[in-house]
Amino acid sequence: MNVTVGQRTEHFRTVTFDTAKNSVRLIEQRLLPHEFKIVGTKNFRETAAAITDMIVRGAGAIGATAAYGLAQGALAFRGGDLEKFSSHIKTVYQTLADARPTAVDPVNAMNDVMREMARGETVAEKQSLALAAAEEFANEDARHCEEIGQHGAKLIRNGMKILTHCNAGWLAFVDIGTATAPMYAAQSQGKKFHVFCDETRPRSQGATLTAWELAQQKISHQIIADNAAGHLMQRGEIDMVIVGSDRTLGRTGEVANKIGTYTKAVLAARHKIPFYVAIPLSTIDWNLKRGFDIPIEERGESEVLGAWGIIDNSKLKTQNSKLAQRAYIRVANPTSGARNPGFDVTPAELITGIITPVGIFKPKELWHRRHELGFQK
């Protein structure tokens, strides 16, 4: 998407690869919306750390990062010994797969790369196939988001008020996003609508990232506290909900997404408000048989006990004023601990439809339509 910083507008992808430096290039999302900065990782371990530390986050974006990270690890290998190469690749794969547990996209993306690499006969062939496959995953992610936009835009009517949760925007993918794709497509069709962004505590991806994206795209929006959605629904101020997903079960239609999604789905059902989930095909897990088995990331308690933000540093005299701007503020009672599950699972019956690159389906239809949806046995 286009980013305007100062007077300059430029198109950026969230994740790219610098072949000359064998480096994965990422937008440093922890600094947004206060600073727009691109960083590069030097090796696959740094790439995995960038996923764990949430420099890059969001299902499709970490999928592309893992695919590039696997290619980066493959390209760093020296020599032609296939056995040693294969054991090195296993380490790279596992390091990247372990970086974050809930989203399935990194594993699906790396499996694509592994399948392609298997076609090569020499180390050099495998290395170049790995990079081509990672590029293809990234391009496909952007294409899928575009197609989601075309299908999803049909749901948006003039004057609608739409609620979204967390950030399933272009920052969470390579480009365009999933929950936001219908909004961007509807905007380009001249439709006028308003978006409520759930703040999405504890990391506030709605207040920081989605709001920044929508502001960049000049889409009318407001941030609401996570607890405000029920009240707005009760007063008829929300017409539709669109969220993303980190893992959607192809067999059951259950949707894992950022913590708080389930609560919004229950509220939407209570108020008979349509609740849509937008996903690329890489977010579908065809293996797991029940949502209860989805690994739910438990994150550190400091995220709940306080918050990151910027402080007015105009009066601070430090050598590195940019670093001085970002600060963690402890909010909670100093002697209390916290529990911090990062995701929850919404059952199929609370979901009106799943917006995919090939059309909009009822959650329970996914399995019957699996061959159109990229199912591979």
Q: How far is the CB of 206 from ligand MRU (least distance, A)?
A: 9
Residue range at the interface with ligand MRU (CB under 6 A); choices 57-65, 228-236, 355-363, 367-375 = 57-65
172 binds ligand MRU (CB under 6 A): yes
Non-local CB neighbours of 315 within 8 Å, separated by 6+ positions: none
What is the Cα Rg of the chain in Å? 21
257 binds ligand MRU (CB under 6 A): yes
Tell me, what amino acid is at 61?
A: A
Nearer to ligand MRU, 101 or 244 (CB): 244
Among 198, 199, 213, 246, indicate the residue that binds ligand MRU (CB under 6 A): 246
The CA distance from 171 to 55, in Å, is 11
Nearer to ligand MRU, 111 or 340 (CB): 340
Nearer to ligand MRU, 116 or 198 (CB): 198
243 binds ligand MRU (CB under 6 A): yes
Three-state DSSP at 162 gives strand
The CA distance from 377 to 363, in Å, is 20
Among 92, 258, 262, 304, indicate the residue that binds ligand MRU (CB under 6 A): 258
167 binds ligand MRU (CB under 6 A): yes
Nearer to ligand MRU, 258 or 264 (CB): 258
User: Do 59 and 281 contact (CB within 8 A), yes or no?
Assistant: no
15 binds ligand MRU (CB under 6 A): no
User: Do 178 and 355 contact (CB within 8 A), yes or no?
Assistant: yes
The CA distance from 297 to 166, in Å, is 16
Torsion of CA 170, 176, 180, 185, to 10 degrees: 160
User: Do 307 and 329 contact (CB within 8 A), yes or no?
Assistant: yes
Task: Name residues contacting ligand MRU, limited to 277-336 (CB under 6 A).
Answer: none
373 binds ligand MRU (CB under 6 A): no
Task: Name residues contacting ligand MRU, limited to 337-356 (CB under 6 A).
Answer: 342
65 binds ligand MRU (CB under 6 A): no
Among 14, 47, 58, 104, indicate the residue that binds ligand MRU (CB under 6 A): 58
Report residue 368 as tokens.
Answer: 């019957």
Among 41, 187, 205, 356, indicate the residue that binds ligand MRU (CB under 6 A): 205
**Would you name the residues annotated as active-site residues?**
246
Nearer to ligand MRU, 73 or 244 (CB): 244
Q: How many residues bind ligand MRU (CB under 6 A)?
A: 16
Q: How far is the CB of 44 from ligand MRU (least distance, A)?
A: 19
Name the strands in the sheet holding 23-27, side by side, starting at the edge strand that comes first in the sequence: 15-18, 23-27, 38-41
Non-local CB neighbours of 218 within 8 Å, separated by 6+ positions: none
Residue range at the interface with ligand MRU (CB under 6 A); choices 11-19, 65-73, 163-171, 368-376 = 163-171
The CA distance from 331 to 302, in Å, is 10
Q: Which residue(s) pair with 326 in the sheet?
A: 310
Tell me, what amino acid is at 209?
A: L
- Of 146, 174, 351, 177, nearest in space to 266 by CA: 351
Interacting residues toward ligand MRU by CB under 6 A: 57-59, 166-168, 172, 178, 205, 243-246, 257-258, 342
